[in-house]
Structure 1
Amino acid sequence: MTTTAATDAEGLGAHPRFAEALREQGLGELVGRVRRFPEATRTAAEAAAAVGCEPSRICKSLIFTADGVPVLVLMDGASRVDLERVRRELGAGEVTRADAGVVRETTGYAIGGVPPFGHRTRTRVLADRALLAHDLVWAAAGTPYTVFPIAPSELVAHAGATLVDVRERNA
């Protein structure tokens, strides 16, 4: 798949709300680095193939509910979230994956395009430490057709995330 750098936020690049969030956080130069794909990349594997990188360099932005309260987990694209580890980290009774309606209501974005910050509502954010193994990761830019590059340390800082170990361990 080919990619094109998109520089405008009105339909070609990042979702307009996310482009504005980048500017508000002093990351306006990243708007011009957004890549748009001709087809949706709703999974980390699809995004990695489109970017031309390893799946672990894709940052998944996943919404869960902890005792009914939405929480964002940032995870590398090669790993899965261990719900029990998230539950213990949050001190919650139950953690489940949020449905599409909760994701859209909480973030303002559809599943497959949720960026790591710039959401409609403020939520608690956990970032798995494995993201820091890379110098650069790619995250959704508000649509299933767009991604942007960012240093993991910047991503964690701008998302207001707490670094944790919540990925599944291979047996």
Structure 2
Amino acid sequence: MTPSNSHRPLTPEDLAAFIEQRGIEAEILRLPVDTPTVEDAARALGTTPDQIVKSLLFLIDGSPTLVIACGPNLISRRRLAAYFRLSPKRIKLANPEATLAASGYAVGALPPFGHRQLLPTLIDRQVLARGRVFAGGGAIRALLRIQAQEIARVTQATPLDLVEAPPSEDA
């Protein structure tokens, strides 16, 4: 990317170029409605929220790290902190400005790869159990159709158990 373009937001066209240049097996779907949330994306595609994969940027002791999980699941800051051997207070969800600065994409459109800079990536093991999934496609009216294993291959993500444990039925 040239210095003059380093501050412009990235687009689905940038993501498509990244996919083509690297021979990634994925397709960007253009949609007639906004899909900024997991529920919106699932509704637009006529699928279930667990087929939507979210990419969230966390600041781990100030450094950006991408975390990929199945849409309806909550990412556990406690589990992230344990992995990094830090206090949970050192784990922060990046705000929209930090997300845009580090990745080039807006919150709600963040793809799992093709960012402005190479981001260390963690992927929840539940994602890897899925086949075809849908992820952010670079704009709120674009989604990426891709196999979960292809996300793992392209990102070289570290697989971990990252989501909150579901509430116990005994509680």
Regarding TM over 0.5, the answer is yes
Rounded to whole Å, the distance in 1 between the matches of 2:17 and 2:156 is: 17
Match in the other structure for 2:119: 123
When normalised by structure 1's length, the TM-score is: 0.86
Measure, in 2, the Cα distance between the counterparts of 1:92 and 1:36: 40
Q: For residues 48-87 of structure 1, what are the structure 2 equivalents within 5 Å?
A: 48-87=42-81
Does the Cα contact within 8 Å between 2:54 and 2:135 map onto a contact in 1? yes
Aligned-pair identity (%):
32
Moved over 4 A (4+): none
Check the 8 A contact 2:51/2:132 in 1, yes or no: yes
- How many residues get paired? 155
Unaligned segments of structure 2, at least 5 residues: 1-10
AA matched with 1:25? R
- d(CA) in 2 for partners of 1:158 and 1:24? 12
Give the letter for the 2:86 counterpart.
A
Give how far 1:21 is off.
1.1
Amino acid at match of 2:115: H
Q: Which has the higher contact order (CA 8 A, sep 6+)?
A: 2
Length-normalised TM-score, structure 2: 0.86
**Structure 2 counterpart SS, 1:65:** strand
Contact kept in structure 1, 2:68 and 2:123, CA below 8 Å:
yes
Following superposition, the deviation at residue 136 of structure 1 comes to 0.7
Q: Counterpart of 2:12?
A: 15
- What one-letter code is carried by the residue in structure 2 that aligns with 1:58? I
Deviation at 1:16, TM superposition (A): 1.6
Residue 96 of structure 1 deviates from its aligned partner by 0.8
Q: CA RMSD in A?
A: 1.3
Report the counterpart of residue 24 of structure 1 in structure 2. Answer: 21
Matches within 5 A, 1:1-171: 15-27=12-24, 30=26, 33-93=27-87, 94-171=90-167
